[in-house]
Structure 1
Amino acid sequence: MEKEFIRNFCIIAHIDHGKSTLADRLLQITGTISDRQMVEQVLDSMELEREKGVTIKASAVRMLYRHSSGKEYELNLIDTPGHVDFSYEVSRALMACEGALLVVDATQGIEAQTLANLYLALDADLTIIPVINKIDLPSARVAEVAQEIQNLLGTPPEEILAVSAKEGTNVEKVLEAVVERVPSPRGDTSLPLRALVFDSHYDSYKGVVAYVRVFDGMIRPEDTLRVMSSGIDFRPVEVGIFSPDMRPVSVLSAGEVGYVATGLKTVSECRVGDTITSSTSPAAEPLPGFRHPKPMVFAGIYPVENEDYERLKEALEKLQLNDASLVFQPEKSQALNFGFRCGFLGLFHMEIIQERLEREYDLDIVVTAPSVEYEVVLRTGEVVRIDSPALLPDEGLIEEIREPWMVVQIFTPMEYYGTVMDLVRRRRGIFREQEYPAPNRVQLTFEIPLSELIVDFFDELKSRTRGYGSMDYHFAEYRPGDLVKLEVLVAGEPVDALATIVHRDQAYHKGQALVSKLKEVIPRQLFDVAIQAAAGGRIISRANVKALRKDVLAKCYGGDVTRKKKLLEKQKRGKKRMKMIGNVEIPQEAFLAVLGLEED
């Protein structure tokens, strides 16, 4: 199709503002999907996506739409992930478009991720079409939300579309606005091929299937292509479009969106943001913006049963085929035996991987408390990166420890201003600025250590603001901090899986809280078990789990007192021996106790 009849656009929104439902209605109206094939959240194919109401994987679909002028247009909708952990994937999907539908819930108004994704869209120089969704709800505040959008974008209220994606009200106007307001794609078919990979998945028959937007040149199934970052050459197994299922075509030309089945074996060979070109006449330079997504949060994943180790390894390898941002390596823990140290983009990414391991691969796993990656400067001047507290060098060798800091934007109604400030202050946050994008709403910007952010910060923000607060964050820099390793010793043995790196000021309080919690969850043995917290080379807290007492005198009724003394002495010797060789089983609740530590 001619470039002037092509429109590439995406939908950006906060979680649960109706992005996937609007995509469903657009597919129905354009006849891309028949009513018989229709299911809710067509583009969210994963069970977890439907359940959590958030898009995890990007997807694309081509729709043919006949405008009121009688001309037929090719509309390529690129559905972007909706969570802050996947902001890099969102930025690549936005680069593949010329326009974006900004969907705002009529009952909730603008929220933090709406703004975060909007700024990404404005950076990518996209045409923004504001859409207010859920106008059918009794609590809808259409006029107020329209005013918020006008204050933010300067769009006149009459140009803001008010729709109900669920009921289908005014959705036709959205398609008209896309055709009329979104510019047609630029690009030249005579130039060397440059196609942006904005997502990919692994297919056991076709290898890695790269989702591409062609900027210059053409892709034909018989061409030999090259991935520019790795220099890997391949012959496509198939070239096609999403409609919404995969349909082969003979050519993809500049301006079009489709897929290339590469036949490559791992997603890491064809990463999101990479550029595909021709190997015979390659482009001079790749498209800008490509980088390797860097894991920010690390945790140990261990099988509950040791014999499941190989099954866990296979499951992680299969997940990595579709998700190149998941990294893992084997690890051994004294308490949990053999497992894997895994790196994730964020807490939500970690939660998704954990649930998929349990559901799709039927594994019983223990996940240790998440930690972040620290930079340790040794006295020799060498800088080492550690992602597990167990790997921290001896204190005498360390010059300084640097921790990752994040810039956090919190969007909340004015009445929760004080409680949000208090929450951030307790988590070592630094206030930067505040703005008032809408009446009775405030946007607060803070700097905060990532280690404080990953432990129930979002849950506490939601509870303190009764669900109205929302947040977005991005990496700022590594900064030196007065940090120490907080170790836990159970029966004199350090338990590496319970070790954490904390600020020195918080070590005593956290150590005491952790010891108290472990005393509740570690079961009583036939001998006294000492639980100790140590930081900076000294014990800072201790609690004892009292021994279970077996009544050895139960069988003594009457007789000489020496018989009783003899039995008690025998028991005493047995307890002493057991204390030397006894093993304390630590249940999974103990590892979760590290997560559940409440701030004072």
Structure 2
Amino acid sequence: MTELAQIRNFSIVAHIDHGKSTLADRLIQMTGTVAERDMKAQLLDSMDIERERGITIKANTVRIDYPAKDGKTYVLNLIDTPGHVDFAYEVSRSMRAVEGSLLVVDASQGVEAQTLANVYQAIDAGHDIVPVLNKIDLPAADPDRVKEQIEDVIGIDASDAIPISAKSGLGIPDVLEAIVQRLPAPKGDRDAPLKAMLVDSWYDAYLGVVVMIRVIDGVIRKGDRIRMIATNATYGVDRLAVLRPQMVDWPELGPGEIGVFTASIKQVRDTRVGDTITHERRPCAEALPGFKPAQPVVFCGLFPVDAADFEALRDAIEKLALNDASFTYEMETSAALGFGFRCGFLGLLHLEVVRERLEREFDLDLITTAPSVVYHIFMRDGTMQELHNPADMPDLTYVDHIEEPRIKATIMVPDEYLGDILKLCQDRRGIQLNLTYAGSRAMVEYDLPLNEVVFDFYDRLKSVTKGYASFDYTLTDYREDNLVKMQILVNDEPVDALSMMVHRDRAESRGRQMCEKLKDLIPRHMFKIPIQAAIGGRVIARETISAMRKDVTAKCYGGDATRKRKLLDKQKEGKKRMRQFGKVEIPQTAFISALKMDE
């Protein structure tokens, strides 16, 4: 049993690519938690996608034993968190399970937008924060400037920030000492009834559902009967373990400790993140407050390419949703695509990652519809509906007005790219709120409509600033605007997967772009295909894909011109009939490319 005073629970927070996972690697390596032969870069990033993209998606945890300079051995529970704005929910959850944070800032890049967002989450959770300056061995590093920035922009004391290089291992012993000396020990009562917080759960093919918990009060042992307060289900603990990243069996977990257990739980659905776990016989007095559920921001439809895969898709989505509490889904049907799911995500990267995980881990072929946001539609009779899918738009004669979600975006950008950023935000119907400077970097705050950000705002932002800008946003409110539903018709048939809500002033250029794009993407058929963009009954843009034609007059040589004419007329009749009954196949790649808007 570990003394409370010798436990430290902490998370690592930082902007994307400032070195969180590398620092976690060094801490694990220096304390000998993992044998040298098993060490690899980004040890805690276990998913293939995380390793390929070099990003952290799931918060991962590891228990480290550290013999400190004062002769005591401390237990350090480290949670490595993601940096991207789309996974901020993972970060906020991890924060609740620990008492302190290491704030990692790149000594060459300085404070970025996501640094701010993540630090504020740590401060909200009441953490003690130790600033760490990483990458000080880079030629461009300027630790003094960055310390000033941390004090100016974030407002925490950085005079004793620890300079390190996580890649080479420079300064890591100082970090370990600082964790022990400067972060608080957890509080808890060993003799009180068991009260533990469910931090995360995931599905393992061999063990069933694995549940990660942080014990607040009391002790949990193997063989205990436990109750989940939210679902009121009871289970017997089969196996208790701590993560060193691999599971190591453990006899008991006391207050302040973080570990995992399995209890023959069949479905991840039964384990709600943020739930309180207690003993069946001796329950705790009240449940923990839990987490507020994540608000999905972007919605899109996921459909199987082959309709027979629908059951497999349902299964896959259920398993994924267990593990990812910020992902929501419901069934929907579409005339063109059959049965599928309308899914909600925290952002576009989240959408991409979920889609990729479904395709890889469950071997599915999927069609994704245009991402859209939730609109509030106010009807003439005074009621309000939420619109998740533009294809479900009610008849305009009954609609009074439409409101769209607005966000407050914070963009940090080097001075020389400021003009491009202001133009980009202006083009996206943004309203400038604020512009301040921190050193040579500008910090711009904009009020933007979310549907303009959903498509490709982030890509455009990165390309106009050569990757130097950083971006973070929060949802603010709903506001009325002049919005219309634009449909795309291919061969006079509406394609519901491509219908979208646009601002009326933008509709024509958006429609023309879509039509031109589809003209290049849809292969030619034996008959000519018109592609039209329409608002209600009015066509606002049109392109035509010309037909492939067979040379029917090849066998005529010499003789009368009427012989050729007769063959050509016969061909013309056939084409007309084909166009009437012909079906246009739109390839999957065309859907995806058409939805990526380039200016």
Structure 1 length-normalised TM: 0.95
1:346 counterpart = 2:326: no
User: Helix, strand or coil for the counterpart of 1:36?
Assistant: helix
Spell out the pairing of 1:156-555 with structure 2 (5 A cutoff): 158-436=159-437, 438-555=438-555
Question: Which amino acid is 2:486 matched to?
Answer: L
Alignment-derived partner of residue 584 in structure 2: 584
Distance 2:120 2:560 in 1: 87
Aligned residues: 598
Distance 1:54 1:188 in 2: 38
1:565 counterpart = 2:565: yes
Q: CA shift at 1:130, angstroms?
A: 0.6
Alignment-derived partner of residue 111 in structure 1: 112
Q: Deviations over 1:25-75 (max 9, x none)?
A: 111111111111111111111121122222111121111111111111111
Cα separation, partners in 2 of 1:444 and 1:55, compared to 1, 3 Å: same
Distance 2:466 2:565 in 1: 63
Cα separation, partners in 2 of 1:153 and 1:353, compared to 1, 3 Å: closer
Fraction of identical pairs, as percent = 52
Q: Deviations over 1:350-380 (max 9, x none)?
A: 1112222333334333322211122222233
Distance 2:123 2:116 in 1: 10
User: Helix, strand or coil for the counterpart of 1:574?
Assistant: helix
Distance 1:449 1:233 in 2: 46
* Structure 2: gaps (5+ residues): none
After TM superposition, the structure 1 stretch with the greater mean CA deviation from structure 2, 356-365 or 494-503, is 356-365
Distance 1:364 1:118 in 2: 39
Question: Which amino acid is 1:3 matched to?
Answer: L
Cα separation, partners in 2 of 1:120 and 1:155, compared to 1, 3 Å: closer
Q: Tell me if the contact between 1:296 and 1:343 (Cα under 8 Å) persists in the aligned partners.
A: yes
Q: Deviations over 1:303-342 (max 9, x none)?
A: 3344444443443343334334333344443434444332
Distance 1:214 1:440 in 2: 45
Distance 2:157 2:350 in 1: 38
Q: Deviations over 1:430-454 (max 9, x none)?
A: 2222333x30112222222221111
Distance 1:546 1:153 in 2: 59
Distance 2:598 2:44 in 1: 39
After TM superposition, the structure 1 stretch with the greater mean CA deviation from structure 2, 311-320 or 53-62, is 311-320
User: Helix, strand or coil for the counterpart of 1:159?
Assistant: coil
After TM superposition, the structure 1 stretch with the greater mean CA deviation from structure 2, 306-315 or 92-101, is 306-315
User: Helix, strand or coil for the counterpart of 2:475?
Assistant: strand
Cα separation, partners in 2 of 1:527 and 1:231, compared to 1, 3 Å: same
Distance 2:575 2:155 in 1: 77
Alignment-derived partner of residue 56 in structure 2: 55
Q: CA shift at 1:491, angstroms?
A: 1.2
Cα separation, partners in 2 of 1:451 and 1:23, compared to 1, 3 Å: same
Distance 1:469 1:556 in 2: 66
Q: Tell me if the contact between 1:196 and 1:274 (Cα under 8 Å) persists in the aligned partners.
A: yes
After TM superposition, the structure 1 stretch with the greater mean CA deviation from structure 2, 365-374 or 486-495, is 365-374
Q: Tell me if the contact between 2:299 and 2:372 (Cα under 8 Å) persists in the aligned partners.
A: yes
Q: CA shift at 1:285, angstroms?
A: 2.8
Q: Tell me if the contact between 1:103 and 1:130 (Cα under 8 Å) persists in the aligned partners.
A: yes
User: Helix, strand or coil for the counterpart of 2:177?
Assistant: helix
Q: Tell me if the contact between 1:456 and 1:595 (Cα under 8 Å) persists in the aligned partners.
A: no
Q: Tell me if the contact between 1:89 and 1:272 (Cα under 8 Å) persists in the aligned partners.
A: no
User: Helix, strand or coil for the counterpart of 1:259?
Assistant: strand
Cα separation, partners in 2 of 1:95 and 1:435, compared to 1, 3 Å: farther
Question: Which amino acid is 1:163 matched to?
Answer: I
Question: Which amino acid is 1:398 matched to?
Answer: V
Distance 1:263 1:372 in 2: 38
Question: Which amino acid is 1:25 matched to?
Answer: R
Distance 1:155 1:513 in 2: 48
User: Helix, strand or coil for the counterpart of 1:563?
Assistant: helix
Alignment-derived partner of residue 27 in structure 2: 26
Q: CA shift at 1:417, angstroms?
A: 1.8
Question: Which amino acid is 2:393 matched to?
Answer: L
Distance 1:404 1:223 in 2: 48
Distance 2:525 2:197 in 1: 61
Spell out the pairing of 1:121-136 with structure 2 (5 A cutoff): 121-136=122-137
Distance 1:102 1:254 in 2: 25
Q: Tell me if the contact between 1:420 and 1:464 (Cα under 8 Å) persists in the aligned partners.
A: yes
Distance 2:366 2:375 in 1: 26
User: Helix, strand or coil for the counterpart of 1:318?
Assistant: helix
Distance 1:390 1:67 in 2: 62
Distance 2:244 2:598 in 1: 49
1:77 counterpart = 2:78: yes
User: Helix, strand or coil for the counterpart of 2:590?
Assistant: helix
Distance 2:277 2:347 in 1: 28
